[in-house]
């Protein structure tokens, strides 16, 4: 059953359309992450679910109830923001229980609910403290506790971890994944962070200029981006893009020529692509090899000269340029001895390549092609 439905949502702020015909169905118990560049409308969409913004057109339903004109408090949602906004003069226990006090529950009921939530978040020992005596991570836990105690149908998280330092973010990310499993709750989450989106989401919604570009599981978006925008947005480090010319199209796929005359036959299909069309070849840094293909024999090699090597420990990111000056990056295992100015034969496996037409749309993989093994 879909629990949250966004139907043809538009939002216009002072003449500027910031949400454009957004349609998303979120299933019961699903963890859905909204990603997209700054200003693409993620927060506005989240606030529209919460009832903090009214859509200019369209309908929001929660549990099959049309809540489009309903007050936020009547929607059964709880929102956790980037800034925790705790009451400084109240203890942790009072902060968590505050919403319940407003709902006229007895003191015993509130105490029990607060204890239960503190147990889930492992903050029992902090209940008597004031927010000033807490770390950033502890404050964020209290803010999440305030949401859990209300037992909402839907949790809405707007970049809840972005004020935390890197190691605490990783820790809280894992905590939130566990929390989602434990509560089996529907969660909608906005983030700028690739890793958060890829690791937490059941499905990711990629937004751009107020429109949905693609919705899918993290691996679907990674393996089968629908277009250039999604391909360039999902994946870290970013996919490499090279301008290529179409040589010919046959049953084996689309054969393209790179600027150094290397030819590649990418197993994709498209009736509209003809010899001479300009296309964009996309290949991820982790799908390029040095001298050997990644998980299988190489289908082609391109020559490149190393410009910079970034050693990250477990792996290195090698930046190189082709004879025509185009740049690309490839990932290698960390102990490689590659240095700037080295000449490389970069191995490409064509089933791991993507092709995009002049409109930025991905050409579809040939049906008979088996899914290549991932690196
Ligand atoms: P970020 O990642 O930077 O937080 P976002 O994707 O969450 O961005 P929104 O905050 O939803 O984007 O904003 C989308 C667009 O709507 C932006 O151009 C923003 O300036 C505009 N906007 C948001 N709120 C208002 C408002 N209350 N009045 C006018 N314009 C607004």
Q: How do residues 213-248 score in pLDDT, each as one tens digit?
A: 999 999 999 999 999 999 999 998 999 999 999 999
pLDDT-based confidence at residue 67 (cuts at 50, 70, 90):
very high
Strand, helix or coil for residue 243: strand
pLDDT digits (tens, 9 = 90+) for 254-264: 999 987 788 99
Would you state the pLDDT for residue 375? 45
> How far apart are the C-alpha atoms of 26 and 42, rounded to whole Å?
15
- Residues belonging to the chain: 375
Q: Which residues, other chains included, contact 39 with Cβ-Cβ below 8 Å and sequence gap of 6+? A: none
> How far apart are the C-alpha atoms of 63 and 28, rounded to whole Å?
9
Would you state the pLDDT for residue 255? 95
pLDDT-based confidence at residue 182 (cuts at 50, 70, 90):
confident
> How far apart are the C-alpha atoms of 308 and 318, rounded to whole Å?
6
Q: Ligand 1 centroid to 18 CA: how many Å?
A: 7
Q: What is the mean pLDDT of residues 171-186?
A: 89
Mutate to test the pocket of ligand 1, among 11, 13, 36 (most ligand atoms within 8 A of CB): 13
| DSSP letters spanning 331-362 | EEETT----TT-EEEEEE-GGG-EEE-TTSBB
Top pLDDT among 334 and 360 is at 360
Question: Is residue 359 scored above 60 in pLDDT?
Answer: yes
Structural domain spans, the chain: 2-227, 237-365
CATH 3.40.50.1390 describes domain 2-227: no
pLDDT-based confidence at residue 293 (cuts at 50, 70, 90):
low
**Percent of the residues in the chain that have a pLDDT greater than 70, as a whole number:** 96
CB-ligand 1 contact for 15 (6 Å cutoff): no
pLDDT-based confidence at residue 325 (cuts at 50, 70, 90):
confident
pLDDT digits (tens, 9 = 90+) for 191-217: 988 889 999 999 999 999 999 999 999
Fold designation for 237-365: OB fold (Dihydrolipoamide Acetyltransferase, E2P) (2.40.50)
Mutate to test the pocket of ligand 1, among 44, 46, 53, 81 (most ligand atoms within 8 A of CB): 44
Q: Give which of 107, 19, 7, 12 is closest to 59, Cα–Cα.
A: 7
């Amino acid at each position: 059953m879909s629990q949250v439905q966004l139907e043809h949502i538009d939002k216009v702020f002072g003449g500027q359309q910031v949400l454009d015909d957004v349609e998303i169905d979120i299933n019961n118990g699903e963890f859905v992450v909204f990603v997209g560049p700054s200003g693409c409308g993620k927060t506005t969409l989240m606030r529209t679910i919460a009832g903090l913004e009214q859509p200019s057109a369209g309908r929001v339903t929660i549990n099959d109830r049309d809540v489009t004109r309903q007050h936020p408090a009547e929607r059964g949602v709880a929102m956790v923001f980037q800034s925790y906004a705790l009451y400084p003069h109240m203890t942790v226990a009072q902060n968590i229980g505050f919403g319940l006090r407003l709902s006229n529950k007895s003191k015993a009921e509130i105490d029990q609910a607060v204890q239960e939530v503190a147990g889930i978040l492992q903050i029992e020992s902090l209940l008597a403290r004031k927010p000033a005596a807490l770390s950033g991570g502890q404050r964020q836990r209290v803010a999440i506790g305030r949401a859990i105690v209300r037992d909402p149908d839907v949790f809405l998280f707007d970049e809840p971890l972005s004020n935390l330092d890197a190691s605490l973010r990783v820790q809280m990310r894992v905590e939130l994944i566990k929390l989602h499993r434990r509560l089996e709750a529907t969660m909608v989450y906005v983030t700028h962070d690739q890793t958060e989106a890829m690791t937490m989401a059941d499905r990711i919604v990629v937004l751009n200029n107020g429109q949905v570009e693609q919705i899918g599981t993290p691996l679907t978006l990674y393996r089968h981006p629908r277009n250039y925008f999604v391909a360039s947005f999902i994946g870290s480090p970013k996919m490499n893009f090279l301008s290529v010319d179409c040589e010919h199209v046959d049953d084996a796929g689309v054969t393209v020529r790179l600027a150094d005359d290397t030819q590649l036959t990418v197993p994709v299909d498209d009736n509209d692509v003809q010899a001479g069309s300009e296309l964009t070849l996309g290949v991820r840094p982790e799908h390029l090899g040095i001298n050997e293909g990644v998980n299988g024999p190489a289908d082609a090699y391109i020559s490149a000269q190393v410009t910079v090597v970034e050693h990250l420990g477990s792996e290195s990111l090698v930046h190189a340029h082709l004879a025509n000056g185009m740049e690309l990056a490839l990932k290698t295992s960390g102990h490689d001895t590659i240095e700037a100015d080295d000449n490389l034969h970069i191995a490409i496996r064509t089933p791991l390549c993507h092709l995009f037409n002049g409109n930025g749309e991905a050409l579809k993989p040939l049906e008979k092609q088996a899914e290549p093994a991932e690196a």
